[in-house]
Each structure stands twice: as structure tokens, then as C-alpha cells.
Structure 1
Amino acid sequence: MKKDEIVVMNIPLDKIDGNPENDKLFSMRSVDHLAKIIDEEGYTTPIEVYKKKNGRYEITSGHRRYQAMKLLGQKEIPCYIHAGYKTEMEKDRKLLSSNIATRRLSPLEMANAISFYKQILKKENFKGNTRQKIAEYFNISESNVFRYEVLLKLIPELQEFCKKPQFPYSSLRQAASLTKEEQRQLYNELIRLEADTKNISEDEVEKDEIVFSRTRIEQIINGKIRAKENAKKQEELIDDDFPMPKPVEEDSNDLTDLIIKDDSEEVISIETIIENNLAEESSVNLTGFDQCITTLNEYRKSAKSIADKKAVLDKIAELKKALEKLEKSL
């Protein structure tokens, strides 16, 4: 068979295989409705297949029609048979284009299709603006490309909602910034809201029949994001009021960590600290040393933020002098 030659013939259903990628990308929703239409009005449009090396056929376009005919108990199906593909990428492109052209994709199907097309571009070593190329291929805006891609970052339970073509998918874009646990809480809250609205238990909620308001979903998500941000700010306030000293590594030779500051951001002389503690008492009371060590540890975080390398080196020299002086006095 020549490359551009197309033959039409009836082929037994049990000799036809589906494209494995199709099941990953596109759902078989409403197959029973399609079967009913075919049963009442007859079969009109052949599916597209090509013959494989093992003698079997693989579907290029028409997976739902194929499943509908199986559901009706038919033994054969009319098919367009073409010569096949030179490369896997050529076959993948055909799978995408045929589904985009013949059916309305759900938000999740569109997200999967975009991801699949991005893989094709990568295999083809595409060097241009990927998002712009995707937008052109699917005839959507670049911002919509981003909105669809975000859906793949959601937990499976939330993705299930996006299998409905009418679902306000863009309302979930901010949910991708939540942790998986927070997304599960969001999912449970949506189910609980539906149960309360219909005055039924959460177990009785038919998830396929839920109709959500875009505004309501966004309100719930924004509430969770604000609560998360407020909790983070509260933690930062607590950290500022009660700074926790960083532990000192026993084997650390990093003397720059010992550069310290007081609350007024003035650099305190380490030598002065040590000398003052020595002058207070000549007894073996080591409380002053303990306090000095505690003070140094408390200011380690501030020391790390010093950008003036010269000041750091000067303080290292001052520290060495103070330690030498202390050692000689013992």
C-alpha cells in the first residue's frame, strides 16, 4: 500500500487494538450515549486504522466509536486503512490532531494533551518558545496553556472534577500552590459543601454530578491561602521576638560565625567581652564564660548577614588577639 493510499473495508473488532497512549490522554465518557445513537441512526463514519507488522490493526482515530460498536455486540466495524507511519512522533501527532478535531476535550484531557505535545516537541528538539508553539497548535492563549498545565499538579481527587467539560477548571489554578494535604482538605470541604447543599451525607454525594460555582471554589481556596500566609507571618513574628540560637558545631573552625552585633547594629568588641569577664572576678566562677558563649551563639544568625568582608576579617583578627591574651593570662 502506498503512503497516501487509503482503503475502506470492514475489519473484525477482535483484530483491532487501541493506541495505548489514547487511554492515558483521553477518556471514554459517553460511550453508552454514542452507542445508543449508532443503534438508532446507524453507523456512518469509519474509524482510521493502520496495519501493524504482526498483521493486526491499530486505531489512529475512532476509539470511542470502536468501543460503542463493541458495546452493541457488533463483530466488524468499517475502517479507513492507511499505510502507517514512518516514526512514532508522526503517529503521536496524528493521535492528537484527530482527537482535537473530532471531540470536545475536558480540561484534564486538554492538560494531558498539552503535556503529550510538549513531549513531542522535546523529542523533535524544538528550540523556539514552547508555550507559544503549544498555544498556536491548540488555538488557545498562552495564559490558558499555563492554566491547563497547572491541573497536572493537583491531587487525583481534584483532577477528577476536571474530567467534566463544563467544570470551571481555572478556579483551581491557585490550589496547585497548596500542599497535597491541603489539597485533600480542599477536596473534602467541596464534598462537604455539596452534601450540606443537598442535605445528604457525604457518602451519598455523586461526584460525577457535582456542579461547582467558580466563585465559591475561588473563595474557599483563597481562604486557605490567606490562612496559610497568616500562619507563616505569625511564625515569623514569634521568631523575631524570641530568636533561637543556632547550635555550635564542636569541630567548626568558622570564626566568622562569632562576629556579633547588639540591637543597635553596632559591632561589639569580642576582646572587650572577654576582658570584662576576666576583670569581674579572679575566682574560678565560669558563669561569665557561659554567658559569653550563649551571647555569641545567639548572634550567629546576625553574623551571617554581614556583607562587609573586611569587617569580618578585622573581627577575626580581634578575636585571635583576645584568645591569645586570655591564654597567656592563665
Structure 2
Amino acid sequence: MTEKEFKSPAYNVRPVPVEQIDANSYNPNKMALPEDKLLYESIKDDGYTMPIVCYQKPDGRYEIVDGYHRYTTMLKHKDIYEREHGLLPVSVIDKPIQDRIASTIRHNRARGTHDVDLMVNIVKELKDSGMSDQWIMKNIGMSADELLRLKQVSGIAALFADKDFSKSWN
């Protein structure tokens, strides 16, 4: 296939019963509980917005290359399973095992990180629009400590406007 003929797998997403999908044995990626809860909230509120990337094995079953945590979210949460009728969106890549392992690592490492200054601005914008700390923590997946640290880093007193402070300084 020439470069001109290449068609990215994302243009051919197919619904696959979750029971026909297997985890791979080589994914080193782990997800902490707060992020796992946030992924569930994201899938619950937004649906599956990204397909699971799989390899279709000779026996017809699928093996995950990327998307293990989206897969386990369906397995762990009956409400998601039922809403999605037990189907996961899957894009298929057809590569030998060493290329699939490399692809898994690339997917994991290419996720990026959040810039602290941008997160401070986002929190400020949400607070300015009337969102409570509880709303921000639930919908952005922050702990109370993370939110407090972002507010402290900002140095913006308005971010603390809804907090009661000790009278000990009086």
C-alpha cells in the first residue's frame, strides 16, 4: 500500500462486543483511582469519544493495543455496559506483535501532561463562572489538595472567596 492509499484505522471504527475483546499481556500503564473515577465520569457524561485500538487475532477475537482502561470501565460499570449494549468502538491495526507493543507504549507516552499555569487559568475561569469547588473536583477529577495547591499557586485571592477562614488572626 502506498502512502497515498493509506487510510487511518480511525476511519473504520466498528462496534465489537466487549466479550470478544482481550487485554494484552504487555501494557505497563496503570491508572490511579482518581483518574479511574474520572474516566468513568467522562464515559458516563460524554460516551465513548475515542475507539479502543485492537489487533484482530486469527481466531476472530480482538486484543487491545490501546484503550485498556476504557475497556475495563465497561466491564466494571453495568450502567455503561447496558447503555452501550455491551459494544465498544474499535479501530483495528494489523501489525506484528513487536509493532503492537511499540504502538501501546507510544499511545501511553503520547498522552501528555497538564501545564500548571493553564490549569490555574481554567480553575479561575470556572470559579468566575460560578462553579463550586465540589463541582470542579468532581468534573475535572481533582482532589481537594490539588485544587488548593492550584489556588495557592495562582496567588489570586478571589479563588478563596468561598472559604471560611479561622478567626485566630483577629
Q: Distance in 1 between matches of 2:30 and 2:51?
A: 20
Q: How does 1:189-208 map to 2 (within 5 A)?
A: none
The structural deviation recorded for 1:41 is 2.2
The structural deviation recorded for 1:33 is 2.0
Tell whether 2:58 aligns with 1:53: yes
Kindly indicate whether the alpha-carbon contact (under 8 Å) linking 1:13 and 1:77 is maintained by their aligned counterparts in 2. Answer: yes
Kindly indicate whether the alpha-carbon contact (under 8 Å) linking 2:65 and 2:101 is maintained by their aligned counterparts in 1. Answer: no
Kindly indicate whether the alpha-carbon contact (under 8 Å) linking 1:35 and 1:71 is maintained by their aligned counterparts in 2. Answer: no
Which of 86, 96, 105 is 1:96 aligned to?
105
Q: Distance in 2 between matches of 1:103 and 1:72?
A: 27
Q: How does 1:177-196 map to 2 (within 5 A)?
A: none
Query: In the alignment, what sits opposite 1:63?
Result: 68
Runs of 4+ more than 6 Å apart? none
Higher strand share: 2
The structural deviation recorded for 1:71 is 2.3
Tell whether 2:19 aligns with 1:8: no
Query: In the alignment, what sits opposite 1:79?
Result: 90
Which of 11, 28, 39 is 2:31 aligned to?
28
Report % sequence identity.
28
Segments of 5+ residues of structure 2 without an aligned counterpart are 114-144, 146-170
Q: How does 1:127-142 map to 2 (within 5 A)?
A: none
Kindly indicate whether the alpha-carbon contact (under 8 Å) linking 2:53 and 2:66 is maintained by their aligned counterparts in 1. Answer: yes
Kindly indicate whether the alpha-carbon contact (under 8 Å) linking 2:23 and 2:68 is maintained by their aligned counterparts in 1. Answer: yes
Structure with greater contact order relative to length (CA < 8 Å, sep ≥ 6): 2
- Given the superposition, is the C-alpha separation of residues 103 and 66 from structure 1 closer, same or farther in structure 2, using an over 3 Å criterion? farther
The residue identity in structure 2 corresponding to 1:76 is L
The residue identity in structure 2 corresponding to 1:77 is L
Aligned CA RMSD, in angstroms, stands at 2.2
- Aligned length, in residue pairs: 99
Kindly indicate whether the alpha-carbon contact (under 8 Å) linking 2:54 and 2:65 is maintained by their aligned counterparts in 1. Answer: yes
**TM-score, length-scaled by structure 1:** 0.28
Segments of 5+ residues of structure 1 without an aligned counterpart are 105-208, 210-330
The residue identity in structure 2 corresponding to 1:81 is V
